[in-house]
Amino acid sequence: MQIAVIGVGYVGLVTAAGLAESGNRVIGYDIDAGKIAVLQQGQSPIYEPGLERLLAHNLHNQRLHFTADLGEALREAELIFLALPTPSTAAGEADLSHVFAAAESIASTLQALAPGSLPYRIVVTKSTVPVGTARQLQAFFEQRLPGQIRVASNPEFLREGFAVEDFLKPERVIIGTPDPQVAETLRRLYLPYTRQGNPIYLMDWESAEMTKYAANAFLAMRISFMNELARLCEKVGANIDWVRLGMGADSRIGRRYLFAGVGYGGSCFPKDTRALAALAQKHHLRLQLVEATIAINASQRAFFLEKITAYYRGHLQGRTLAVWGVAFKPDTDDIREAPSLEILAQLRAQGVTLRVYDPVALPRLRQTYPDWPLFYATEAYEATQGAEALLILTEWSEFRQPDWKRLRANLHAPVIFDGRNLYDPAEMAKLGFDYLSIGRAPVYAYSTAAAS
């Protein structure tokens, strides 16, 4: 099939490369000419495991092309995927200005390209959009190009760090359309990706759009539930890790998204939970579980910060702390709404000097906050040199088994505040560390020994 992908950010780029992989001819379009120039060289502007290989392979085989010329992208396109940002407004709603600006540009460009050259084109919303957006887009195109555009909803379910795998081997494909011909076209498009038997669900526009919000809100709710439960575990002497294992063994619950920590972040969960809550309020309803999920997540950063403040009895001014991890999760350079950002900002405001390290996200941090006076370490142990404690904010694999002797030699005091529960408290006690994590009893092996 001839496909155009409008917007080659995170979702659009993975979608374009993934669709080309099964033999489609795909043109990715973006208004950012600099990004297009980078992509034309086979380089990815984002960090995502496996993506550059996919780009190089399909560029080499001439199935994938990138352009800043919308006319070139649309001229032969049977399918037009919209993969555009839908950020939160001040009220928490999804901002659709990018989506409808693109729709206007598509309509104008197709009018200039003799729209009758194809019987019809299918515009597919890949972006996460509020319920009712596909219907609004269909009405818009019917006014501008009567009979020439059919709209479908095809929400993405890509996990950052696993996005290539998720696209090529999806757990499910959701297609929302009232049109049987459109449904069949999209079903055939996705058949090569579902040969192992994973389902393709055909449904109406609104149900497809709601499915994406419902899935993200539910996963976010699981995280917030575990974070709130972790606070209670600390009060009553329970261990959240054992609780998680016991819960996850129940097939009705499952093991995933049950890890306590400093909260969720990224481009999806925060934005989508806010948008879902705002949508309910617009219809004079309150989604109290979703609202509680949002509130718990926001307060989890303060919960972690309080551990640090309490340990130093409120005296943070002038201290130097090391930080491992700033990305919102491992295997990505995405720092959008990462828990680390608020924690770093609060510590800076209290006069703390911060030495930070992340395997891939530091350029994003430096670009986003150029005025933050941080020390950017080139490797993990450089960040710990001369620091009074180590904070762990992202669970990168390279942090899981550190060189304990080297780490202890670098730190002024063997103190770790672990926001991702990477280490065994009993082992930390044997190593002589003070170790404060989430939902588990604190370890005071160093401070107790020093006081004796």
- Exactly one of 6, 268, 326, 343 is catalytic; name it: 268
For residue range 341-378, what is the model confidence (pLDDT) as tens digits? 999 999 999 999 999 999 999 999 999 999 999 999 99
DSSP characters for 290-306?
HHHHHHHHHHHHHHHHH
User: Is 138:104 a contact under the CB 8 Å cutoff?
Assistant: no
Q: For 106-130, what is the mean pLDDT?
A: 87
CATH at 165: 3.40.50.720
Sorting pLDDT into bands at 50, 70 and 90, what band is 186?
A: very high
For residue range 11-39, what is the model confidence (pLDDT) as tens digits? 999 999 999 999 999 999 999 999 999 99
- Asked whether the predicted pLDDT for residue 284 surpasses 90, the reply is yes
95: which 2 tokens?
């901002």
Sorting pLDDT into bands at 50, 70 and 90, what band is 449?
A: low
Q: Looking at residue 61, what is its pLDDT?
A: 93
Contacts of 250 (CB under 8 A, 6+ apart): none
For residue range 188-201, what is the model confidence (pLDDT) as tens digits? 999 999 998 999 99
Does residue 124 sit in the same domain as residue 267?
no
Within 13 Å of residue 431, how many CA atoms lie on the same side as its CB?
Answer: 22
Does residue 43 sit in the same domain as residue 70?
yes
Does residue 139 sit in the same domain as residue 252?
no
Last residue of a domain, one of 135, 169, 203: 203
* Residue 377 to residues 46, 257, 315, 372, Cα–Cα distance (Å): 21, 30, 25, 14
> Percent of the chain having pLDDT more than 90?
94
For residue range 272-282, what is the model confidence (pLDDT) as tens digits? 999 999 999 99
Active site (annotated) includes residue 268 = yes
168: which 2 tokens?
């090529």
Task: Give how many domains the chain has, as a whole number.
Answer: 2
Does residue 65 sit in the same domain as residue 166?
yes
For residue range 160-170, what is the model confidence (pLDDT) as tens digits? 999 999 999 99
Residue 263: name the closest of 322, 328, 346 by CA: 328
Does residue 399 sit in the same domain as residue 409?
yes
Does residue 175 sit in the same domain as residue 252?
no
* Residue 229 to residues 285, 368, 438, Cα–Cα distance (Å): 27, 33, 10
443: which 2 tokens?
């370890």
For 25, phi then psi, to 5°, come to -95, 115
Does residue 127 sit in the same domain as residue 237?
no
Alpha-carbon distance 239 to 95, whole Å? 41
> Percent of the chain having pLDDT more than 70?
98
DSSP bridge pairs for 102 = none
User: Is 65:28 a contact under the CB 8 Å cutoff?
Assistant: yes
For residue range 215-271, what is the model confidence (pLDDT) as tens digits? 999 999 999 999 999 999 999 999 999 999 999 999 999 999 999 999 999 989 999
Alpha-carbon distance 452 to 415, whole Å? 17
Average pLDDT, the chain: 95
- Asked whether the predicted pLDDT for residue 337 surpasses 80, the reply is yes
Say what the pTM is. Answer: 0.92
- What letter would DSSP give residue 330? S
Last residue of a domain, one of 186, 203, 220: 203
DSSP bridge pairs for 191 = none
Does residue 149 sit in the same domain as residue 247?
no
Does residue 108 sit in the same domain as residue 221?
no
* Structural domain for 132, as ranges: 2-203
- What letter would DSSP give residue 313? T
156: which 2 tokens?
């993405």
Alpha-carbon distance 223 to 211, whole Å? 19
Does residue 93 sit in the same domain as residue 180?
yes
Q: For 409-431, what is the mean pLDDT?
A: 97
Q: Looking at residue 452, what is its pLDDT?
A: 42
- What letter would DSSP give residue 337? T
Q: For 323-342, what is the mean pLDDT?
A: 96
349 exposed, middle or buried (CB, 10 Å; 0-12, 13-18, 19+)? exposed
Does residue 118 sit in the same domain as residue 221?
no
Sorting pLDDT into bands at 50, 70 and 90, what band is 115?
A: low
- Asked whether the predicted pLDDT for residue 117 surpasses 80, the reply is no
Last residue of a domain, one of 151, 172, 203: 203
Does residue 211 sit in the same domain as residue 346?
yes
Q: For 114-132, what is the mean pLDDT?
A: 86
Contacts of 221 (CB under 8 A, 6+ apart): 289, 290, 293
